[in-house]
Chains A and B, each alone.
Chain A
């Protein structure tokens, strides 16, 4: 267990070091998140749909699409010089690779979310309140499970010639539960409804995280082995 943890931390640290050096995922996903929000602001028929009604859905759509950009990058950097084989040759379980990649992906997706969140407040005139912390917390919780499923599918598609196209097609159906639960919970939080009304959605997100992280980590070794 300690060996897996040590290797997973080394893999995550390596991914984050590469990202701080070239900033490819953050710049692309950050710019994408801004553009998606702007598109929604300008595509809205003025006076017919209020920004406050649209805001929670836009946050979750932005979050999911920008997350896909981060996940697409995750295994592409392993393809250069077949670097992933260097990890597969190490005396550690394949699960260490999953947990390391998941940790780095989760950190990057949460970083993009943190970047996009204040812009979302600005673009959609969301009034500052303590419930925003709850909305942010729901998104972080969703990111944990979403990146679990995404890490598995990104590893699967990275071997193919059409990785960038295949990943969204495979992953988006699995994002419906966290997006639905997250958006529903966010709407209730922004309307300052009692916590009981949010608790059910919170439970769904926790169950999604546990189920997808456990399943993805168990399936991962079969995906990376030739």
Chain B
């Protein structure tokens, strides 16, 4: 890997009370990489993503996104899009109002055009002006994806992005992730089911107990990797 990394994290340590969430994790991803982040519950996957996003401060270690320290330079967050378990939107606002608000926070020019495009890509054009309060989990997830990608970030952090999506929407999301990869975005996706993103991944990282126990280019055969994964998690 010789290209400049879009994500470069070194020596990340984080505890929550007595619980060790990350114990010295190094992580990097370059343009066009799609990293599949796997591990059992409590392995530290979500904590790692939240630290990379600048939402949680590490006790030790640094995170640089597109060259800037995400915990010191607020401007570094312009390069980030983050989808988590929560939609990060307001139930009392419509999808269009939610996206307008995020466009304003990101200082986007010509926001209305981008918002229309994002709503169409999320399949929410028909419900663009209805309050989000009545939305299903899947519709909120689609709105969350539209919010995260609105400012066309170069780094996308996706924590269980398929939660609540129907098969059609899940297929569309896979298409978008493929498109992001083709456009040289760095993508890190956490999932419990590697099959969801296996074909699109370029690298697989496995966390256990807050440490990286496996980091390799795409291993090829999923069934063979499942056996390897079982061994890693049982060790």
Contact = CB atoms under 8 A, between A and B. Distances in A.
A93 B74 contact: yes
Contacts of B107: 3, 6, 91
Interface residues of A, number: 27
B87 A17 contact: no
A81 interface: yes
Contacts of A85: 55, 82, 84, 86, 88
Interface in A82-139: 82-83, 85-94
B165 interface: no
Interface in A2-26: 3, 6-7, 10-11, 14, 17-18, 21-22
Contact of B147 (A11, A80, A86, A88): A86
Nearest to B132: A81
Contacts of B86: 81-82, 85
Contacts of A90: 77, 102, 105-106
A216 B75 CA distance: 23
A92 B90 contact: no
B56 A226 contact: yes
B53 interface: yes
Contacts of A17: 93, 97
B92 A22 contact: yes
A77 interface: yes
A44 to B, nearest CB: 40
A3 B105 CA distance: 9
A225 interface: yes
A81 B91 contact: yes
Interface in B159-175: none
B225 interface: no
Point out which of B56, B57, B87 has the most chain A C-beta atoms below 10 A from its C-beta.
B87
Interface string B46-60: 000010011111000
B229 interface: no
A14 B103 CA distance: 12
B89 A81 contact: yes
A87 B105 contact: yes
B19 interface: no
B105 A77 contact: no
B55 A226 contact: yes
Contacts of A88: 54-55
A14 B91 CA distance: 12
Contacts of A3: 107
A95 to B, nearest CB: 10
A176 to B, nearest CB: 34
A184 to B, nearest CB: 40
A82 B74 CA distance: 20
Nearest to B148: A89
B53 A89 contact: yes
A225 B77 CA distance: 14
B89 to A, nearest CB: 6
B88 A83 contact: yes
Contact of B106 (A22, A91, A93, A94): A91
A82 B84 contact: yes
B3 interface: no
Contacts of B140: 81
Interface of B: 50, 53-57, 74-78, 80, 82, 84, 86-93, 97, 101-102, 104-107, 131, 140, 147
Q: Top 5 nearest A-B pairs by Cβ distance?
A: A82-B86, A86-B88, A90-B105, A10-B104, A91-B78
27 contacts: A6-B104, A7-B104, A14-B90, A21-B93, A77-B90, A77-B92, A81-B88, A81-B90, A82-B86, A82-B87, A82-B88, A83-B89, A85-B84, A86-B102, A86-B147, A87-B105, A88-B55, A89-B55, A89-B77, A89-B82, A90-B77, A90-B106, A91-B74, A91-B75, A91-B106, A92-B74, A94-B74
Given A81-B89, A94-B74, 12 more contacts: A7-B104, A14-B93, A17-B93, A17-B97, A81-B140, A82-B84, A83-B88, A87-B105, A89-B53, A90-B102, A90-B105, A91-B74
